[in-house]
Amino acid sequence: MKKLFILLFSFLTISAQVEAAAEGGEFKPGDMITHHIADDYTWHFADGVTLYLPVILIDNGTPKVFSSSNFYDENHAVVPYDGYMLSHGHIYRADASGQQAADQSSLLDFSITKNVASLFISVALLLVVFFTIAGSYAKGKGRAPKGIQSFFEPIIIFIRDEIAKANIGPKYERYMPYLLTIFFFIWFNNLLGLMPGGANLTGNIAVTLVLATMTLLITVFSGNKSYWSHIFATPGVPTWLAPIMIPVELIGILTKPFSLMVRLFANITAGHIIILSLFSLIFIFESIFVAPLSVAFAIFMFFLELFVALLQAYIFTLLSAMYFGGAVEEHDHVGDHGHGDGAH
């Protein structure tokens, strides 16, 4: 019932926004969808309910702090403010005519955008949840888990036994903090993105790039002698092929985190776009026959996205553990050479 209520509230929120947009002209589904999945300097929850976030700029070394509400007039039209303008989701210097100035150098933007605010909320939520679980462990040693601890403990044990131990081996413990953090961070933010007015944090490629880069750095700095020797002197490969194999192996190191980045970004963003597109059909066709079908498919997609939210967190964590395992695994070069000779 709670999930259906959330979906119904999301539908009403989108409906109100669509109707408000229709009053000002033709409904454009592309603009509505982009508005929901893109980052912004405001956080729009429903028609008439908007949180204006702080703008923090450093212009030629001088800090500028003000509310993003200054970029909007009483009709919510975008206007320049204090020599700056908001255009296509970015802040630029404005000239005397209110147009984008030619010189944009030395302008640094550290604003709290919708995605940044959502990031802070998810981090605070994670800290509250896991400090609560840690406190429960400290107070209830030797007793059966209860409350929130009983819900998360099987998940933590699953990550430890089925992901970390199974793919990394005896050295799994040093990677457990990262694997737990990355799993719950992605899962929580995937779910928060499905809430009414939620931000599309894990559907932002900059966020997934940072997560994938962290996995890459841990993998590279964890690599042992066997890991690097398999890259620069692949066992069983003739020496004359080294100029070809070494670049291929190095490219392979980069393509792994690249796939992590794109997979998470594409799956989460695609889910949001599909659900919003299904809702848009109601207002495009304005038919009593289309509306029930659109709502039914949207409900199905919503429940599918709840599964995808967990699945993508699992896949990202699993593949990260596999990369770590490959970096710390001790290889038997003699066996490798023997196997290669036998294959020939």
What distance in Å separates the CA atoms of residue 177 and residue 208, rounded to the nearest whole number?
19
Identity of the amino acid at 330: E
Instruction: For residues 185-191, give the mean pLDDT.
Output: 95
Q: Do 93 and 103 meet the contact criterion of CB atoms below 8 Å apart?
A: yes
Q: Where are the beta strands (DSSP E) in the chain?
A: 42-46, 49-52, 54-59, 62-67, 84-87, 90-93, 107-109
What distance in Å separates the CA atoms of residue 115 and residue 202, rounded to the nearest whole number?
9
pLDDT tops 90 at residue 267? yes
Hey, where are the domains in the chain? 54-111, 115-343
Report the percent of the chain where pLDDT is more than 90. Answer: 47
Instruction: For residues 77-86, give the mean pLDDT.
Output: 90
Give the model's confidence band at 256: pLDDT under 50 very low, under 70 low, under 90 confident, else very high.
very high
Identity of the amino acid at 343: A
- Global pTM? 0.85
Q: Do 73 and 63 meet the contact criterion of CB atoms below 8 Å apart?
A: no
In the prediction, which pLDDT does 4 show?
47
pLDDT for 317-344, tens place per residue?
999 999 999 999 876 554 444 444 444 3
Report the percent of the chain where pLDDT is more than 70. Answer: 89
Per the DSSP assignment, residues forming a β-bridge with 229 are: none
Give the model's confidence band at 206: pLDDT under 50 very low, under 70 low, under 90 confident, else very high.
very high
List Cβ neighbours of 237 (8 Å cut-off, separation of 6 or more).
245, 340
In the prediction, which pLDDT does 25 show?
56
Instruction: For residues 10-37, give the mean pLDDT.
Output: 62
In the prediction, which pLDDT does 335 show?
45
